[in-house]
Each structure stands twice: as C-alpha cells, then as structure tokens.
C-alpha cells in the first residue's frame, strides 16, 4: 500500500446506520403500530370529510373500487409526515397491576 492511498482515506464518505436500524425490534414494532394507528385515524377522518365520496363521483364502479386505497395512501403519507401525536399518548403492552386492593 502506498502512502498516498492511506492519506486519501475520507471518513466523511461513511454514513452512520439509520436510526431505525439501531432500535431494538420491540421498539421498532411499537413505532410501526403507532404510525399505523395514526394512519387509521387519518383515513377515517378523511372518509368522514367526504374525500372517499369525492373520488367516486363521476367515476362509476371502477372509481369506487379503488377510492378507499387512495384515501388510505393519503392517510399513510399524513401519518408519517404530519403525525397528530395521539399515538404517543397510547400505552402499548400489558397493563401494570393495580396497587390498590379491593375490600371484599
């Protein structure tokens, strides 16, 4: 190896692993569930707002067959890029045992 080859090493060309890769599997699964939860909320809000019906107007049965997929795709994009924050308030996992004892 020549000295010029050693000096040409550039550490800036290496990237760190993506944050998703560094997370433990349980944490990644929890994050996926939270995003899916918000996606479902967005999809329901968009449907109730009339977006699904708007896509089917004038398109016949072909449009109505795929309008739900379009709404869910929009909801997925909104959940990933503009989360509402409701999923962060939801606790996932087994419930903690109650510390209060009931009198019998």
Local confidence pLDDT in tens for the 104 residues of the chain? 555 555 555 555 555 555 556 667 888 888 888 899 999 999 999 999 999 888 888 877 888 888 999 999 999 999 999 888 887 777 766 654 555 555 54
| Strand, coil or helix: 6 | helix
Q: What is the pLDDT of residue 95?
A: 58
pLDDT for 41 = 93
Does residue 46 sit within a domain?
A: yes
Assess if residue 71 is contained within a domain: yes
Q: Let me know: does 80 contact 31? Beta carbons within 8 Å.
A: no
The Cα 76–Cα 48 span in angstroms is 16
Residue 11 resides in a domain: no
pTM for this entry? 0.60
Are 78 and 45 in contact by the 8 Å Cβ rule? The answer is no
């Amino acid at each position: 190896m020549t000295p010029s080859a050693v000096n040409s090493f550039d550490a800036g060309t290496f990237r760190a692993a993506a944050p998703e890769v560094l997370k433990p599997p349980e944490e990644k699964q929890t994050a996926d569930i939270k995003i899916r939860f918000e996606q479902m909320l967005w999809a329901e809000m968009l449907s109730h707002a009339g977006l699904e019906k708007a896509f089917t107007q004038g398109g016949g049965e072909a449009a109505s067959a795929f309008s739900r997929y379009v709404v869910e795709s929009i909801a997925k994009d909104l959940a990933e890029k503009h989360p509402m924050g409701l999923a962060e308030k939801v606790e996932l996992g087994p419930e903690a045992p109650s510390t209060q004892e009931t009198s019998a």
